[in-house]
């Protein structure tokens, strides 16, 4: 049975799907995206600006997000990002693949012999 994709590709795309997921409720600026990811993961995943903004740019270049300038909640000029229809479709597909891989890894880690 052929593999669906290289696991390295899966890890590379993880930040993208986290960003897209964070944008499902509506437009958000970069800092709010990173805070949402941090809060949702209980501060396990922390997204640095040096990773976040290039990832947002790549997503925008691929047509998965759109952006426009606006004012943040503290009246500062900020770029707000919105997930596009293509981004929603991409997120659904990538999330399904990621969940399949994560479930497979979980099965391996829970299998005998135990880690204890």
Q: What percent of the chain has pLDDT over 70?
A: 90
The predicted pLDDT at position 13 comes to 77
d(CA 84, CA 86): 5
Residue 1's pLDDT band (boundaries 50, 70, 90)? very low
The predicted pLDDT at position 11 comes to 56
SS3 breakdown of the chain: % helix, strand, coil, rounded to 5?
55, 15, 30
Give all domains of the chain, ordered by start, each with its CATH number.
7-110 (1.10.10.10)
The model's pTM is: 0.85
Residue 70, helix vs strand vs coil: strand
For 4-13, 20-29, 33-42, 49-58, which range has the lowest pLDDT when averaged over its residues?
Answer: 4-13
């Amino acid at each position: 049975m052929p593999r669906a994709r290289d696991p390295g590709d899966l890890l590379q795309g993880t930040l993208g799907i986290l960003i897209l997921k964070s944008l499902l409720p509506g437009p958000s600026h970069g800092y709010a995206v990173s805070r949402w990811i941090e809060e949702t993961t209980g501060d396990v995943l922390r997204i640095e600006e040096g990773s976040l903004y290039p990832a947002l740019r790549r997503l925008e270049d691929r047509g998965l997000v759109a952006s426009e300038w606006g004012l943040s909640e503290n009246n500062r000029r900020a770029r707000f990002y919105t997930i596009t229809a293509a981004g929603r479709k991409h997120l659904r597909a990538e999330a399904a693949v990621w969940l399949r891989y994560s479930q497979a890894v979980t099965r391996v880690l829970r299998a005998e012999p135990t880690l204890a």
